[in-house]
């Protein structure tokens, strides 16, 4: 059975998956497009939000997609972000990191995200530790 799963997974991952997602928090609603490709022999896993590649690096820090696993039932995305020390409004913040694990149930469209924040300005403003979020997504039909 595991052999069949491993053989089927690359075929499922050949085409990018695209979801339209909605996140609501208090009186704020955000609608965005989430597109992902799992890793292949020649390219690392990629994730895009509204066309922006989530693998980024600059003088403020770096963010990278570690893995994307696409099966018939679920999508799993793991991502890490690291932030340089920064000064804001006269306050000095140390280095920070966020480890994010996102799962999407492909049949229901339910997206669950778990973020673990350590240090940095995010720890001071949002709070250190693990936060969980839930959003709703709809798979975009293949053309």
pLDDT for residue 7 is more than 50: no
DSSP string, 78-129: EEEEEE--EEETTEEE--EEEEEEEEEETTT-EEEEEEEEEEHHHHHHT-SE
pLDDT of residue 3: 40
Query: 56-110 pLDDT, tens per residue?
Result: 998 889 999 999 999 999 999 999 999 999 999 999 999 999 999 999 999 999 9
Give pLDDT, residue 37: 87
**pLDDT of amino acid 14:** 62
- Is pLDDT of 2 > 90? no
Instruction: Count structural domains, the chain.
Output: 1
Q: Is the pTM of this model over 0.75?
A: yes
- What is the spatial distance between Cα 68 and Cα 81, in angstroms, rounded to a whole number? 16
8-state DSSP, 142: P
Which residue range forms the structural domain that includes residue 18?
2-139
Task: Scan for tokens 């050949």, then name that residue.
Answer: 14
- Is residue 8 pLDDT above 80, yes or no? no
Would the pLDDT of 129 be above 90? yes
What pLDDT shows up at residue 10?
46
Is residue 39 predicted with pLDDT exceeding 70? yes
């Amino acid at each position: 059975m595991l052999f069949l799963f491993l053989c089927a997974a690359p075929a499922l991952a050949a085409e990018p998956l695209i979801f339209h997602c909605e996140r609501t928090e208090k009186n704020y609603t955000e609608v965005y497009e989430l597109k992902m490709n799992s890793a292949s022999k020649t390219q690392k896993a990629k994730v895009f939000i509204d066309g922006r590649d989530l693998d980024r690096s600059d003088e403020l820090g770096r963010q990278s997609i570690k893995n994307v696993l696409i099966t018939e039932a679920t999508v799993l995305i793991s991502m890490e972000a690291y932030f340089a020390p920064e000064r804001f409004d006269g306050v000095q913040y140390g280095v920070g990191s966020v480890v994010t694990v996102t799962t999407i149930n492909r049949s229901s469209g339910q997206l669950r995200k778990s973020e673990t924040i350590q240090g940095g300005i995010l720890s001071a403003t949002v709070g250190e530790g693990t936060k969980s979020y839930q959003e709703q997504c709809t798979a975009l039909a293949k053309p």
